[in-house]
Structure formats: structure tokens, C-alpha cells
Structure 1
Amino acid sequence: MRAYGTIVPDDGSQISVTTKFEGWLRKLYVHSVGEPVERGQVLYEIYSPDLVMKEREYFQFLTRRKQILQSVGDVSQQENEYVMDLLRESQKEREDLLRRDLDIETIQQLEQTGTTIEVVKVRAPRSGVLTQLNVREGSFVSPAAPILTIADPSTVWIDITLGAGQSALVQPGDAVTIWGDGPVPIEAKLDFINPLQDGNRAHARVVLHRPDAGLRLGALVDVSIRASAHSARVLPSSAVVRTGHGDFVMLARGAGAFLPVEVHAGAESEDTIEIRGGIQEGAQVASNAQFLLDPAASLSDTLARREDTSRTIVSASGSMQ
């Protein structure tokens, strides 16, 4: 069964980078979707009045702590419960800054210099590929919306689009062959079939771990699914014309006359297509309906047909394996 798929990130491997405070982006260090990102790399610089205020509160706390420790004198800190509480509170304040996207180096700089850092650099929490970039330099950002999304490219999904009737013929575990840019096709198994329809389409999924370099996110690939054999009325694929208004065949009416008739097409293999309705079994149709509709569609096909002046007729019967 032939189909096509799109290479998409594994949903479970994506993380959204969202600011923990409101502010303005002063500078972006990443610029486009698909850009590789390394863990610890600076993603953007942000100015936030809320964060500056939090830094000043931290300075006040450090100053108060220093004064209290000096007043304690030589008394052992372990024997002074108040001092121990103060140290624990200091650790909590530090952790609060870490949760607000300040890295440990920035916090140490704050403690050593005693001055606020108005523009803070935010670094990537992991390595991967940029799959979404929702802002520009100068944008106002808040915790309500992610700034960007990073995906781990070591695991990808092949999102396979199935035509009408195809989803009922496949099941998880069916063998799948995928043709990417590489010279060798990839063999895999069908992992999931989405029970929700997308119009008259359905979607299935193949999960690939450490995919070949020829499989790039966003690319389209050809897919062949080896579904279980079943009996069906079939026609050559060339006998069916797919249009924006439906699928049609050219029904023979006798005396060289043909009539376009809409059919309900099902699964398609390498050279045959299942016919689920629209014509009766045994009906005669043109083996290449496209030729009748557009004689100039293919010069090579036209020359080949000149060798046989008689019209080729086929019957809607047979089985699909």
C-alpha cells in the first residue's frame, strides 16, 4: 500500500523555552527554524523590571545576612539556630533566582559585584534543533507564551497520511518501507494509527531512533505499508483520474463512446487501485482515463498508443494482495 509521510519531531522530545517574568527581548542569538542549538548556548538577552527588582531584594537580603553574621561574632554558626535559618533562607533566595532563568554564573556575578544586571542572558537547557521561534528582537514577552521550542533530532516521527479506506487495512506492527534522500530504503514497523480522522484522511506513525542523516525534519518521504492481504475489486491505477472534484473513470458506453463516472477509490498498491463503489463489477473502463481527458498529457504515452489503434478495455474485477 503506497502512501506518503512527513518527518516531524517526536512530541515527547520537544521542550518550550518560556520566560519566567515579563520583559523585552534586547537581542536574539538564534534566528530561524532548523538552526542547531547546543546546551548552554545563549538564546536571547532580556530586560525585565521585575527581575531587576528581584535582584535588588536579593542584595538587601545578602546585606542583612552579612550584618547579622558579624553581630554573632565568634559563636559557632551550627549552635545558633537563627543563623542556620538565615543560611537556609539564603539558599531559598538563590534557588528562586535560578528558577527565574538566571544561571549560576550570573548569580555569582551578582554576589561578587553587588550591582544589578539589567540585561540577562538566557541559555539553552538542552541541545537540539529549533522547531519554533515565536518572537523578534524588541518583542515584549511574558510567561503566557513560549519564546521558542527545541526538539531532539535523535528521535523523529514519520507522520503517514492515509487515504480514504486505507486506515482500515493497516494495523500497528505492519512492516513499512521508507524512501528518503539516502540510497538505501529504511525498514520499520507501524507504531500508531490515529483513530481521529482529518477530513477524509487518517494518520499513522512510525518512530525512528537515531534516523539516517537523509531524513530531515519537515521533508516528505514515500512510504510503502505491507498490510494484510484482502479481496477487493481493482483497476489499474492509470484507469482512475484523481481531481479536486473526486476520482473518476471513463466508463465504456459502446460504439467507442466513453462517459466519466465518479468512483469511490480505496487502497492503492504499486499499480492497482481498489474500487469501493461507483461502478458495478464487470463494468468496462478505459485502462488510461487520463489519455482520454488530456491527449497531450504525455508525449511518450501518446507515441506508445499509436502502436495499438484499438482502445484497451479492462474490467473492474480481481483482487488486491
Structure 2
Amino acid sequence: MRKNFIVSSAVCLVMLLSLMVVVSVSCKQRAAKHVHASHTKDTNYLSGVLYTDDVSRQILSDVPAIKPDSGTRILTAKVQGKVSFDSRSDAGIASRIAGRIERMYIRYNYQPVQKGQLILELYSPDLVAAQRELLLVHESGDNAMLLSQAKQRLLLLGMLPAQVEKVLKSGQPYYRLPVYSQASGYIVEKSVTSPAPGGGMNSAATQASAMGGMGGGAATATPVKNTSAQAPPLLLKEGQYINAGQTLFTVYSNSGLLANFAFPPVIAPYIAEGQRLVFHSTAGEGKTFTGKLALVQPVLEQGESFTQVRIYLPAGEWRPGQLLTGYLPVVANKGWWLPEASVWRTGNKNIVFRKQGDVFVPQPVSVGIALNGMVQVLDGIGDWEVAVQASYLVDSESLIQ
């Protein structure tokens, strides 16, 4: 009897202890939930911004709000440019006959040459045969018409009148035909990419995005030097055969240069031929020039579109390859204007935070140009109040979809 009483008491004691353990664990869990809820509430409210869990993505905040401005704005677009050769005055050097290059007097591309300077010497079996035919007709002396036709043939093959007369006096043919430069300037092999208009302008336009204005650009100029170390090597070599009519070189005249500037497409509607553009050397030489836009041309280069404008420059002031910085006045007559900080870009979307009561709601808008710290909004937002600093209201990528 006594033994059964002891067993029953032990069982009751074990059950009582188990009940106390369960109650203790439950209390701790409730306390942890309370602490976590308080911590979550504190983290949701930070720097005067309270992010609600509503699917509308509304935001409670004490961030200041402003109303957009309207009216005509005169802004300044900053653009980068480069001095290039004027391709209107270039001259080509081509071979009139097929043959082999016996002697080359050009050592590197962009080598300065003068008009009448010897470029190369060419051996051609056809030319030698034509000279021997001339000598044969000349020695016979009984047909003036054949003699005249033989001379004309040599002239068409590239020989000079003085050379033809020398062949007749000496009785010996030329085995090496000299080829001379047709103009003064910088000689460039035909296989080399032309340094004239448009080359490499897409990078400048890429750097100048619609939202970021027309900034960027290097700080030093890169003029063309007369040194073989910086010029691409020649592909034409002595002993190489060439074809009749093949263009060997192009001579870019240094008598006239041009300046190319690249604008992003969003600025294109505000550009027209005849406008004045103020520019100076990016190296900061201090002197400012004014030029008239002589060409406005849309360009697609390496998969990127931009608008290229051109200004013709006088000789003597500039060097090919020199970098420029230009300023173009832009007159915008429509739209609403907000500070750049009020517009948040998310890839191809532009978001503003519209104030509705005590909350801010993200709204997509269409924008135009962005210059001098202001953004043109094309939508009707005249009666809106917009957060001054959109970045303060951006919590995460899930906030804006």
C-alpha cells in the first residue's frame, strides 16, 4: 500500500515539472515575437521614411515635396569633339599599270609629303614593251601617225611627256616608272581606316546620356605626330605586285580641317544647320572659338546611334586628332521641369514620387532632355507635388516594378 502511494506521488511530480517547462517555453516565444515585432517596426521607419506593406507601394515620409516648373528654358549642351582631316580636299594615288614595286620611298602612314614628291618606283613589263614599240616606230621614221599613237599610249600608262622625250633621245626604255604625289599633306595607305569624319564619335555620344547631360571627355589632345613610332605600319612592301587601277595611297591635305561633334539622339530635335557653337581645346589652352554648324547628320556606328555635327576650320589654328569641348544653346519650349534628383532612373523607366496626402506613390513619367541639373518631363504633371530627393524613397528593387 505504501509502495503504491510513493509511485503515484512520483508520477504527479513528473507531470507537474513537465507542465512548468511547457509554460516557460511558451512565455519565451511570446516575448521573442514581441521583440521581433518591435524591431521590425523600428527598421521600417528610418530617416523619416515609413515603408508600408500595402500592394500600392505607398510610402509615408517627411521628405520635402515641390511642384514642377513650366515655361521656356534656354539651356547649354556640353559636347565633346575632335579635329579631323577635310576629306573634300584629299587626293588619291593609283597605279595606271600592273607591275612590281621596285623601290618604296614612304616609310609610315601619315608621313608628310609635298606635291611632286617621289613616292615609289614601279617595274611593269607592259610599260617596257610599249616603250620599245615607240623606239621601233621612231627608228622607222616613215609613219608620223603611229609615232603619235605610241606616245599617247605611254602617256595614258602614266609616263610624263618629259620622260617620253627622254626615251626618244636616249634610245633606252625606262625600267622603273616613278610615281609622284599629286598633292601636299599627310599620306595614308588606302587599307588604313580613314581618319576623316565620324571615326570614333560614338563613344563621346555614349558618355553623354539624356539624363546626365553632355559631360565627359579627356583632358589632353592627341595631335597627329610625324613619327613612325605612333603611325600604323605600311602593308605595301618592295617586291609586291599591284594591279592596274589599284589605289595605293590617299593624301589628306592640311590646308583645311574640320571639327566633328557627337550629340545623343535626344538633343537632335534642337540642332539645325547654321547654329553657332562655341568651342575650345579640351587641353585648356584658354582661347575660345565660334563656328557655324555646316552639317547635321544622324549616324549609326557600332550599333549606337548619335547625331554628328560638323564645323569647317581654317588652317593653322588646329592639329588633326586634337580634342575639343563645345557648348551649344538649346531652347526647350514645352514640358515641365524638375531637378534631376527628383527623377529616379531604373533601366528604361523614369520614376517620380508623387505626393498624395501623407504618402508618396511612385509614378512612371516620360522625360526629354536633361541639362544643367534640370529634367524635362513630357507628361502632364503640372498639378503634382513630387519628392525633391527620389533616392531617399527607394527602398529596394521590389519597390518599383
Following the alignment from structure 2 to structure 1, what is the Cα–Cα distance between the partners of residues 97 and 286? 49
Change (3 A) 1:239 1:49: farther
* Structure 1 equivalent of residue 126 of structure 2: 50
Q: 1:231-270 maps to which residues of 2 (within 5 A)?
A: 231-233=334-336, 267=369, 269-270=371-372
Q: 1:216-231 maps to which residues of 2 (within 5 A)?
A: 216-231=319-334
Amino acid at match of 1:222: T
1:151 aligns with 2:252: yes
Q: 1:30-179 maps to which residues of 2 (within 5 A)?
A: 30-64=106-140, 67-68=141-142, 83=144, 85=145, 90=148, 92-134=149-191, 135-137=235-237, 138-179=239-280
Following the alignment from structure 2 to structure 1, what is the Cα–Cα distance between the partners of residues 126 and 277? 53
Secondary structure of residue in 1 paired with 2:310 = strand
Unaligned runs of 5+ in 1: 69-81, 290-321
Secondary structure of residue in 2 paired with 1:201 = strand
- The percent of aligned pairs where both chains have the same amino acid is 19
* Structure 1 equivalent of residue 28 of structure 2: none
Contact 2:350–2:367 under 8 Å retained in 1? no
* Structure 1 equivalent of residue 306 of structure 2: 201
- CA shift, 1:117, in A, is 1.7
TM-score between the two structures when normalised by the length of structure 1: 0.66
- CA shift, 1:22, in A, is 1.2
Unaligned runs of 5+ in 2: 1-76, 192-234, 356-361, 393-401
Q: 1:175-190 maps to which residues of 2 (within 5 A)?
A: 175-180=276-281, 181=283, 182-190=285-293
Following the alignment from structure 2 to structure 1, what is the Cα–Cα distance between the partners of residues 344 and 280? 25
Change (3 A) 1:271 1:110: farther
Q: Deviations over 1:271-303 (max 9, x none)?
A: 5565669x99865475899xxxxxxxxxxxxxx
* Structure 1 equivalent of residue 71 of structure 2: none
Following the alignment from structure 1 to structure 2, what is the Cα–Cα distance between the partners of residues 269 and 128? 40
TM-score between the two structures when normalised by the length of structure 2: 0.55
Contact 2:341–2:390 under 8 Å retained in 1? yes
Secondary structure of residue in 1 paired with 2:119 = strand
Q: Deviations over 1:143-178 (max 9, x none)?
A: 353101012222222222120211111101110122
Following the alignment from structure 2 to structure 1, what is the Cα–Cα distance between the partners of residues 113 and 274? 34
Larger RCO, structures 1/2 (Cα 8 Å, 6+ apart): 2
Following the alignment from structure 1 to structure 2, what is the Cα–Cα distance between the partners of residues 139 and 161? 40
Following the alignment from structure 2 to structure 1, what is the Cα–Cα distance between the partners of residues 367 and 138? 74
Contact 2:104–2:119 under 8 Å retained in 1? yes
* Structure 1 equivalent of residue 317 of structure 2: 212
- CA shift, 1:249, in A, is 7.6
Change (3 A) 1:190 1:236: farther
Contact 2:105–2:118 under 8 Å retained in 1? yes
Following the alignment from structure 1 to structure 2, what is the Cα–Cα distance between the partners of residues 136 and 47? 15
* Structure 2 equivalent of residue 16 of structure 1: 92
Contact 2:337–2:375 under 8 Å retained in 1? yes
Secondary structure of residue in 2 paired with 1:107 = helix
* Structure 2 equivalent of residue 192 of structure 1: 295
Q: Deviations over 1:198-249 (max 9, x none)?
A: 4321212112232513xx223332222224443455566789999xx96788
> In structure 1, which of residues 14, 27, 30 is the aligned counterpart of residue 103 of structure 2?
27
Following the alignment from structure 1 to structure 2, what is the Cα–Cα distance between the partners of residues 262 and 120? 72
Secondary structure of residue in 2 paired with 1:31 = coil
Change (3 A) 1:98 1:169: same
Count of matched residue pairs = 266
